[in-house]
Every structure is written in structure tokens, then in C-alpha cells.
Amino acid sequence: AWDRTLRTLANKYNKATFKNFLQALQPLSFDGTIIVFGAPSAFAREWSEKKYSQELRGYLEQHLDTTGLQLRFVTASSEVHPLLGEQPLPLQQAASPSAGAPPDRAAFSGIRDGIRPEVMPRRSEPAKESSRIVESNNPFSSELTSSALSDKYTFDNFVVGKSNRLAQAGAMAVAQGLGSTYNPLFLYGSPGLGKTHLMQAIGHYVRATLPHARVAYVSGETFTNHFVMALRDKRTEEFRRAYRNVDVWLVDDIQTIASKEQTKEEFFHTFNTLHQQNKQIVITSDRSPRELRLMDERLRSRFECGLIADISPPELEMRMAILQRKAILENLRIPDDVIAFMASLIQSNIRALEGALIKLMAYASLAKSPITKQLASDVLSSYFVERMPSFAPSPTDYVALRRPDTGSGAGAAVDIILDAAAAHMGVSKEMILNGGSRDKDVALARQICMYLCRELSKTPMSALAVTFGCKNHSAIAHAHSRMRGSLESDPKILAIIAGIRGAIEHSL
């Protein structure tokens, strides 16, 4: 079963992850319920436990045709676990023996952090390594070169579309050309659109193709923290040496330093030093360089030899493609109508799209139910409310809802829904609330609003009845169940509701 599990996993993870973590696990014992795995280092143990245990359990239960397995992970270096005896551990073989050595292919993905110096054979260091070994005492240097990249953020896993084509092409060119194509590469766009993903993809690419290159991934915030620490501890020399000694500098979310004059100054110096040496610099930000006001005169000309690319929100087709891609990565089969539903529901942010998919997966597996549109609609309406607390009305909202003619806010959440629906369907709010109209569109808009208020606002039905001028709550309940039925059977209504919900999310 373990071999079969490994074979499945070999196709799911990149080679380095597979080799360093999964293949490195040794099944040590199995009593029918508890499987004990030996991991080659404390770091690998923690990591495997955190990242892979769920999935391993799933496959093992499947292959062993059982349930309720428990997985335990122990550190099984030769000192700790007698079962492994003297045999060299896979991780030690893979890892480079000198603590200060540059990353190599096998040590890819931050694994060097996990190599305990005690279990590593000491070897006399080659002369050319010596300057780096001295630097291994430099706290900044070791943090920079071991900066971990997320396994998921590779070029392979990045879906390309109109909204991110330039950014992706720029990133790929930079990863391949290092310093000789665009330098710096500046990527900007709203949160959750893939800036970090692309930036780390460059890092992965370089680490895989040029194992000795020093790739440093830091956020603007980390840079600031390091700099503040350096000032406080009078270690600015080490700080500078560390930062000016990298080959590829990835600076994520630089906007955080824009208001910090001294940090910004230091950033310019680092930038200039690296740029003069033709080291590749990649910067991301939620704003354009112009809006950022980072463009000091000194940098302006430098930016001209670089590339500035923005990423805009993905169109519907691309959102669907991204969901499909994630579903494949997760080994999930998701019906097309569910993909379409989710992609039209969540419009502006890929992170939110992923969050929704994860939530849906979790529910489906808990409920042991297949992923259907009904399930998606149930799960994602609560997802919506949780993510947007404004949709849980406050006590004053209830008061306002009971007396809709007083005060301006007839319940913030209800108001937002009405506005979005009115705009989306081209019907006025008054007509929706009035109810007397015989117009089919108005009647539909009214029912859709009742449905959405019930789904999204958690407002009591009796209060909604007052707002909509119904005799009692049963009119609301009726509209709700009717729309729920239509959502299943009528793609046009599904599209309208998804569109309104998208607009609501957008407006928040």
C-alpha cells in the first residue's frame, strides 16, 4: 500500500518535494490502526506531519481498504531510531554537507533549514566556499538564502489568460534570462491575482536550473524588519553584506515600505548595488510604481530598462480555467456547471476562488456527498456570509428593518443586496419593494431579492416580510424555495443570481 501511495504522490508533487519529503519517509510500524513513519530530520517530520499527513492517510486508507488510520511521525535519524541502523538517510545524501553551502537542486524548497548540524557529517570545506561559511554566522544571510518558496507556486501551476499574459511572459523571460532581459521586473495588481505566485515561480525556476544561484525572497515587511533589527543591534554591515550578496532578489509587496523613509533609502542602496552588478531584481506591489511614489529620480532611469506589467482581474473563462486546474491538482472531479457557478459567483479575486473550492471540497468530503451545484450553492452562501460580516445584521439593522420608513438604512445587508439586484436587473429598488407590479421582470427581481436576503443577510423572515411589504413571512419562504428550485433547473436564473452575488462581493 505504501508503494502504491508513493506512486500516486510521485505524480502529484514536484520531484524535489517528493524526493525530500515523501520518499524520505520510512514506514516503521503498523498495528492495524497506527502507522509510524520515520522522517530523516525534525524539520522533515514537522513538515510532513503538517503538510502531507491528511493526504497520506487518505491514500493509505484507500489502498488498505480501511478507515480510521492514525499516522504518527517520528524523527528517525540513526541516533534516534534503532530500526534504521547505520544506513544513510536519504535526506542526508541529498543535502549538501556544508551548512553554509549554496542551495543545490536536491536542497530545493527550503529543506536545508531542516538539516540539523549535529547529524551532518563534518567535512573539510572547499576553499572557495569559505567566504560563504563565514557568512553563515550572518543571521541575515542565512535567512535570505533559505527563504522558502511555496511548492504550489510554479509556472506549471499558473494559468495564463488575457489579464496576466504580459506579467507571466515577463516573469518567464526573467527566469530564463536573469539580469539580461528585463531588470527590474515590476509586477503590480490587486490582492489575490497571482503576483506572489509568479514571483515565486521565478524563484523555483532559478533554483532548479541554477542550483548555486542565491535566490532571496523577501516581503517588503521582512526587509523592513531586518533593517530595523540591523539598526537596533548595530549589525547594518552584516545586513548590507547579506542583501548585496544575492543573485536574484525577489521583493514581494513593496508598498509596505513606501511610507518608511529610512527603509526606502536602504532599499535604493541595495537596489542600486545589485542592479549595477546585473543581478536580477523582481518587485511586486499592489500599486503601480507611479502610485507608489517609489520612483525616486534615481530609480526612474533604472526602471526604464526593466518591465512594468500589471495583472488585472481574470475574465470568466479564465476563472473557470483556474478552477479546473485546481481541481486537477486536487485530484477532484467537479462538474462543469459547478465550475461555472463558482466562477460567476466569485469575480475579483483568485485567492477567494481557491478558498471557495477548498471549502466546497471540505464539505463534500465531510458529508461524503458528491460535488453538485446544490451543494456548491448551499456551502458557498454560508461562505459568503462568514467572509463578509457586514451581512450578519446588527441589532440596529433589525430595528431599521422593522420600521423601514424611519432612518436611512433599512438594514445594511438588505440594502446592499437590493442595490446590487436593482442595478444588475435594470429595475428600480422601489419597484422591487413595491410588489404591486405585474411586470414579469420586476416580479422576478423581487423574488430573487427575497431569496438573496434570506440566503445572505440572516435577517429574520418576519423582518424581511415587513421590508418587502408582505402579509407575513410565508411569502418570503415561498419565494426562497421557489428560487432555490429555479437555481437548479434554470441556467438563466442561476446566471442572474450568480451575477448579483458577484456584484455584491465586488461592492464590499
Where are the alpha helices (H) located in 253-330, listed in sequence order? 261-276, 289-292, 297-304, 316-329
How many residues bind ligand ADP (CB under 6 A)? The answer is 19
Rounded to a whole number of angstroms, the minimum distance from the CB of residue 465 to ligand ADP is 41
Candidates 145, 164, 245, 347: give the one binding ligand ADP (CB under 6 A).
Answer: 164
- 159 makes contact, choosing from Mg ion, ligand ADP, none, with CB < 5 to 8 Å by partner type, with ligand ADP
Residue among 200 and 270 whose Cβ is closer to Mg ion: 200
Determine how β-strand 215-219 pairs with β-strand 185-189.
unpaired
The answer to whether 184 contacts ligand ADP (rule: CB under 6 A) is no
Candidates 88, 97, 126, 191: give the one binding ligand ADP (CB under 6 A).
Answer: 191
Residue among 152 and 359 whose Cβ is closer to ligand ADP: 152
Residue among 108 and 153 whose Cβ is closer to ligand ADP: 153
Contact mark string toward ligand ADP, 444..483, x via CB under 6 A: ----------------------------------------
Determine how β-strand 248-252 pairs with β-strand 215-219.
parallel
Candidates 215, 251, 309, 322: give the one binding ligand ADP (CB under 6 A).
Answer: 322
Q: Which stretch binds ligand ADP (CB under 6 A): 157-165, 207-215, 338-346, 383-391?
A: 157-165
Query: How does 460-475 read in b/e, with b if 16+ C-beta sit within 10 Å?
Result: bbebbbbbbebeebeb
C-alpha cell at 437: 407590479
Rounded to a whole number of angstroms, the minimum distance from the CB of residue 220 to ligand ADP is 12
Sign of CA pseudo-dihedral 44, 26, 82, 92: negative
Q: Which residue, 33, 39, 26, 42, is CA-closest to 71? A: 33
Task: Using CB positions, name the residue nearest to ligand ADP.
Answer: 194
Q: Which stretch binds ligand ADP (CB under 6 A): 126-134, 235-243, 349-357, 477-485?
A: 349-357
The answer to whether 193 contacts ligand ADP (rule: CB under 6 A) is yes
C-alpha cell at 497: 443570481
Does residue 192 have a known ligand-binding role?
Answer: yes
Candidates 72, 351, 359, 429: give the one binding ligand ADP (CB under 6 A).
Answer: 351
Candidates 35, 56, 159, 357: give the one binding ligand ADP (CB under 6 A).
Answer: 159
Q: Is 28 helix (H, G, I), strand (E, B) or coil?
A: strand
Rounded to a whole number of angstroms, the minimum distance from the CB of residue 229 to Mg ion is 23
Cell numbers 438594514 correspond to what residue? 411
> How long, in residues, is the chain?
508
C-alpha cell at 469: 411589504
Determine how β-strand 307-311 pairs with β-strand 185-189.
parallel
Where are the alpha helices (H) located in 394-490, listed in sequence order? 395-402, 412-425, 429-434, 440-456, 461-467, 473-489
Does residue 368 have a known ligand-binding role?
Answer: no
The answer to whether 171 contacts ligand ADP (rule: CB under 6 A) is no
Helix (H), strand (E) counts: the chain: 24, 8
What is the C-alpha separation between 32 and 64, in angstroms, rounded? 10
Contacts with Mg ion by CB under 5 A lie at: 196
- 35 makes contact, choosing from Mg ion, ligand ADP, none, with CB < 5 to 8 Å by partner type, with none
Interface residues toward ligand ADP, by CB under 6 A: 152-153, 157-159, 164, 189, 191-197, 322, 325, 350-351, 354
